[in-house]
Amino acid sequence: MKQTVIAVAVTLTCVLLVCGMGGYAQVYANNREVPIYCVDRNDNYVSISFDAAWGADKTRQIMDVCDSYGVKATFFLVGFWVDKYPEMVAEIAARGFEIGTHSATHPQMSKLTEAECRKELTDSAKKIFEITGKPVELFRPPFGDYNNTLLSVAKGLGLYTVQWSVDSLDWKGLSAKEIATRVQKANSGDIILCHNNSDHIVEALPVIFETLKLKGLQLCPIGQLIYRDNYTVDNSGKQIRNAVGATVVACPTNRL
């Protein structure tokens, strides 16, 4: 089985990809704040993330595959998902995976008031903390939708707002090979977007991990990929370290 996965991965690394960059390629006005879409680093680390809003059938299988490759991913959880699957939230944390908030109710947050944005974030982060005992540090806006108000509120709450630079489009029902083909374009500092209950994500993950390994890439949670201070985010969404003294959380030593 693993030989088949490796063979597919080798094939994929030879494919010339022409894939859209999603929100990462947008051009922003100078006065518009931008979340973190990727990180300017050259040590061949990338992160893979899973948004969880509906369903949990494949979540344990995702963690099993990740564990078999020594990968720790980041899960962004919606508050109502946390309410419905508290045991799964506890298991995600207990197995060493990182958890961020994906809002409380999955609204289009650019349409909310400042107070409503704050409630979405505080309510969801509180629910996660009450189950895991770990403070939430990361936030991914539903639909990738944001504005300056939302980013300001998140920052004030001590949250790093994180988007993605590689979109698997797994939610569209793509085959495992199609998902892996999209993800294999990842390079150092990229953040990969997947979903915890998409149709073929479990079958795609071994191919993704083997392909990234062939490219010399390693995976770590987003919280270990990003810089914590002394950084800027340019208008493309790339987080850039400003000074040698910027705080960096050490990435794990295990490799794919």
Q: Which residues are catalytic?
A: 51, 195
CA dihedral over 60, 65, 69, 72, signed as positive or negative? negative
* DSSP state letter for 239: E
The CA distance from 113 to 61, in Å, is 38
Residue 93, phi then psi, degrees to nearest 5: -70, -45
- How is residue 115 written in tokens? 């107070």
Taking the C-alpha atoms of residue 76 and residue 48, their distance in angstroms, rounded to an integer, is: 11
Strand partners, 98: 74
Long-range contacts of 7-16 (CB under 8 A, 24+ apart): 8/177, 8/180, 8/207, 8/210, 9/180, 9/184, 9/207, 9/210, 9/211, 9/213, 9/214, 10/214, 12/177, 12/180, 12/181, 12/184, 12/207, 12/211, 13/184, 13/211, 13/214, 13/215, 15/181, 15/184
Nearest-angstrom CA–CA distance, 76 and 221: 12
Report d(CA 34, CA 125) in Å as an integer: 22
